[in-house]
Amino acid sequence: MSSENFDRILKDAVAAQDVPFVVAMSANADGVTYSGSSGEAAAGRPASENTVFRIFSATKAIGSVAAMIMIDRGKLSMDTPVADILPDWNKLQVLERWDGGTPVMRAPKTTATIRHLATHRSGLEYEFWNPEVGRYLEATGHPSVLSGTKASLNYPLMYDPGDRWGYGPSIDWLGQVVETLDGRRIDQFCREEIFDPLGMNDTAFEPDAFADRLSEVRARGEDGNFVPFDLAPPPQPEVYGMGHCLYSTAPDYMKFLRMLLNKGALDGQRILSEKAFAEMLEDQMEGKTFQKMVTIAPPVTADVELPEGTTHSFAAVRFEADVPGRRKAGSQSWAGVCNTHYWVDPASDVAGLVFTQSLPFVEAPYLRTYEAFETAVYAQ
């Protein structure tokens, strides 16, 4: 398939207002196989390889790799109790019920581990996915994790650690584990251990250097058209949340994905040993599976549905069956709330990303674009 066909998919998506703009790339272990863009990343500024995105939860895989580096160095294990490194974890209680407007809390019955954090089985959930969390924040005045304060990390547990999948700020805690064990703040750690070795020079925790290249977030209005929407990670936070804090470009993020295709190394720079890398991509759910995420904030996100039996590795959602005409079993995938999606398919030696800045997350029009692009990559 020629690059013109890929270009057409992107142009058609923008013309149909399925996305406000888009940058898409595909690659294999050896290099980039396609790169293209369409639409305006901001008023009067065409989208391009240089466009900078708020990647939000696409940050999570990088936070998980940071923790895996500590495991690789023997400073941590997947079964280490979180509270052994972060004693504040023991302050967290499970929300059992409500007594009128007062939350009734209890101690958790199980011990949360590093593996629970990495696979979203810690008990922590975001307020977008669990109405009880939002109710708790409102009743207690507890700040959202997007406030960037250290205290904001202390969400109530919604279930006992290990019980089930529940999507929330677990990777923010994982980043704090890395900071505490290593001594460097997480932004310095990521720069020195991940970004610099991989040549990710356009990935950063603050957007100041990218003001002239930063894209605009747009939300779909009731009339179906996109309107500007102000959403960004908190600047200069007390704690950099590794669940949401990064800015990056498509080429930079593709370097990270190609490191995954190359079993923990890129261009002669090894981030992880092959043994640690293999362990990282295995199913780490201990018999549990991904559960459908039902939105309570439709303007922000649609429901998140994945094939039954989908699991989670130490780094990302893991597909346990082939998707016909697309990714193979063992593929890893996730995304940021403003629709910065990626997948890595080691069995096929394929990685891809489809980045925009739009809400709602995983709305059907965006998913059409993603599916069309991914299908074209495999048809090639």
- Residues 58-115 have pLDDT tens digits of 999 999 999 999 999 999 999 999 999 999 999 999 999 999 999 999 999 999 999 9
Residue 128 in domain: no
- pLDDT average, residue stretch 266-284: 98
- In this model, does residue 151 exceed pLDDT 60? yes
- Average pLDDT (151-172) is 98
CA triple 53-57-58, angle to 5 deg: 65
Q: In Å, how far from its chain's centre is CA 324?
A: 24
Domain count, the chain: 1
Per the structure, the complete domain to which residue 45 belongs is given by 3-57+200-379
Residue 380: pLDDT band with limits 50, 70, 90: confident
| pTM, two decimal places | 0.98
Token pair 């650690």 is at which residue?
161
Flag whether 142 is in a domain. Answer: no
> Does a structural domain hold residue 98?
no
When pLDDT is averaged across residues 297-321 and rounded to a whole number, the result is 97
- pLDDT score of 375: 98
Residue 284 resides in a domain? yes
Residue 2's pLDDT is what? 76
Average pLDDT over residues 224-228: 96
Length of the chain: 380
Chain-centroid distance, C-alpha 106? 30
pLDDT at 96: 98
Average pLDDT over residues 246-259: 98
Residue range 31-72, pLDDT digits in tens: 999 999 999 999 999 999 999 999 999 999 999 999 999 999
pLDDT (mean) for 216-237: 96
Question: Which residues form the catalytic set?
Answer: 57, 60, 167
Flag whether 306 is in a domain. yes
Separation of alpha carbons 217 and 229, rounded Å: 5
8-state DSSP, 156: P
Q: Is residue 307 part of a domain?
A: yes
Q: Is the pLDDT at 1 greater than 70, yes or no?
A: no
Strand segments (E) across 146-222: 218-220
Residue 264: inside a domain: yes
Residue 151 lies in a domain: no
The CATH number of residue 266's host domain is 3.40.710.10
Closest by Cα among 66, 57, 55, 273 to 185: 66
pLDDT digits (tens, 9 = 90+) for 366-377: 999 999 999 999
Q: How confident is the model at residue 296 (pLDDT cuts 50, 70, 90)?
A: very high
